[in-house]
Homo-oligomer: A and B are copies of this chain.
Amino acid sequence: MQTSDRIIEAATWLIKKNGYRGVSTKAIATEAKVNESTIFRQFGSKQGILEAIIERHSDIPQFEKLLKEDATDNPEVDLLNVSQQYRLFFHKNADIILIGIRDKGMLPELDRVLADPPVKLHSLLVEYFERLQKKKVIAIQDERLAAMSFLSMCYGFQMSELIHRQYQSQLVTEEEFYKHSVSLFVKGILSHS
């Protein structure tokens, strides 16, 4: 069905731009080149569109594999892989992340979907760092803090790209940022105080 696709696409674009409450069903209909009543026949309510948007985008990243089975235990390699995956996650879900931030509290489920990946990744990183310390690959240190530093770095870069894209973004490209940041971070966790 092509109609509901157009509606979802139009709604996503408009809500991302103006926020859920800043967009009327009439505006969505016009943007989708569809009659307003069609929206309600398809989705039941305005909230129904939002739910459809989220459902369509639900795509949780799998960091487990990268940090367990596939791990090389060379932190520079593994962390670069993680950062790439994280970056991909932000790109794929840019729309609902922005919507989730703007219209926080609108859909509790959405809040969770956005809050969980960082928490999950943090605990995986902690395990990973613990293992590398036991294997004496990296220096002894507080894994919780190291994981948080790395995570904040990635999260911060992606968020500032998402939120302030029109102002910044040209300062540094994603590739060079991660290449440099990972290697800098690895130097930090290698060296003994």
Which residues of A approach B to under 8 Å, CB–CB?
17-19, 21-22, 101-105, 114-115, 118-119, 122, 141-142, 144-146, 148-149, 151-157, 159-160, 163-164, 167-168, 171-172, 176-177, 180-181, 184-189, 191
Contacts and interface: CB of A to CB of B under 8 A. Distances in A.
A181 B18 contact: no
Contacts of A103: 19, 102
B101 A180 contact: no
Contacts of A164: 114-115, 118
Chain A binding surface SS class:
helix
Contact of A187 (B104, B151, B191): B191
Copies of this protein chain in the complex: 2
Given A159-B159, A188-B188, A168 B102 contact: no
B181 A105 contact: no
A146 B183 CA distance: 11
